[in-house]
Structure 1
């Protein structure tokens, strides 16, 4: 995508992401009974982490656009930032964003008390709930459709994503150990076996989300990684 149109697009999406984070902080700060005031603050919620992650990512995209516009696409800094944002999008931003939307609304449809108790309606307006759990997906799809991203090798990408997931799950367990609270109500309903299954399923479901982003990118832009046959032929 050309630098100037990309800059305008990314500036708009970044503004939306920053607005969402700001409203999240503003609302939860005003509600003293909200879990954001307990151990770990709002950083124990994947929803908030995902909002910040998206804001950082689109800020990175905007920085790339500015450097490309002012300098050149071949500038070493631009090349480095481009590779960085491609990997961040592939390994974290897209699969985690899709996971937040699908997992939240799936559990919400089954029993909202397990993930978003009704008492939160008095604290968080409906529009902000959708900002945090629904409207995070459209910017990712727009980014995928209008900007090409080079995915890392699938094994490396899934390994990095798994590490990120394990770090977050470890953080959840630490919060429970340190403060005797569960980040999400559903965890309090599970026995050790059920919790193991839940965590395991959460890890496994991230793999299809990663592959979904890769497949959609290939359908839209074509494969930007040489096949094994091509690499072998080139080496010979």
Structure 2
């Protein structure tokens, strides 16, 4: 019993260390993004909607929120065992929702879509002029290191998934809200958040948005499948 308890505590300490490291990294990368002087930003970032036009920035916010909740939950579960039940209800449920419905599919989408467009024609997503403004390491904190963070969280602790219907509804609400937002930004200011939207016609934009949504749905299902492989069926919430 004593040996099992020691092993359990070591495991909890390891999880806390991982989550704390991830949280500190997300805070650092977010602060570096926000802290870059506005005078150095391209015109569209200083205009209507600011950084909130960009899914990359929103994803950074979501990842920081996720790991912040993870750290709080880990500390409470380890140092205040009597509060486990209330923590599970108040923190673990939103933690699992944020990871499964938002952070995993959106984060994977941001990384894959960015680097796919970058490889095809970087001017569609990250013009060369930005190399003189954003250092390469900052670009990677926003579009590359988000991938290992997703994988780390995936294998560090289990996450309960909602039923497919509820999960799809949650992801659809987020996707529709973001699409409505960038369409409104364009209507109000004449600015498209991404250069690729400037070169697409109306029909092409509709196809692009539909494909993007289907890709995110695929990533949501991928996250659910990987969680099932790693942690078993018992981690999936019942309908």
Above 0.5 in TM-score?
A: yes
1:1-236 equivalence runs, <5 A: 2-72=11-81, 74-224=84-234
Query: Does the C-alpha gap of structure 1 residues 223 and 189 become closer, same or farther in structure 2, counting only changes over 3 Å?
Result: same
**8 Å contact from structure 2 (residues 41, 133) kept in 1:** no
Residue 34 (structure 1) shift = 4.4
Query: Does structure 1 conserve the Cα–Cα contact (< 8 Å) formed by 2:159 and 2:235?
Result: no
Unaligned runs of at least 5 residues, structure 1: 232-236
The offset of 1:26, in angstroms, is 1.8
Partner Cα distance (2:188, 2:55) in 1: 18
Unaligned runs of 5+ in 2: 1-7
Distance 1:150 1:32, change over 3 A: closer
Label 1:65 to 1:34 Cα distance change in 2 as closer, same or farther (>3 A).
farther
Normalising by the residue count of structure 1, what TM-score does the alignment of the two structures yield?
0.92
**Secondary structure in structure 1 of the residue aligned to 2:48:** coil
- How far apart in 2 are the matches of 1:188 and 1:4? 49
Cα offset for 1:80? 2.2
- Kept after mapping to 2: 8 A contact 1:28/1:123: no
Q: Secondary structure at the match of 1:224?
A: helix
What is the Cα-based RMSD across aligned positions, in Å?
Answer: 1.8
1:94 and 1:140 in contact (8 A); partners too: yes
CA contact (8 A) 1:94 1:210 kept: yes
Please state how far the C-alpha of 1:70 moved relative to its aligned partner. 2.2
Q: Is the Cα–Cα contact under 8 Å of residues 96 and 160 in structure 2 kept in the other structure?
A: yes
The answer to whether the Cα contact below 8 Å between 1:28 and 1:34 also exists between their aligned partners in 2 is no
Structure 2 length-normalised TM: 0.91
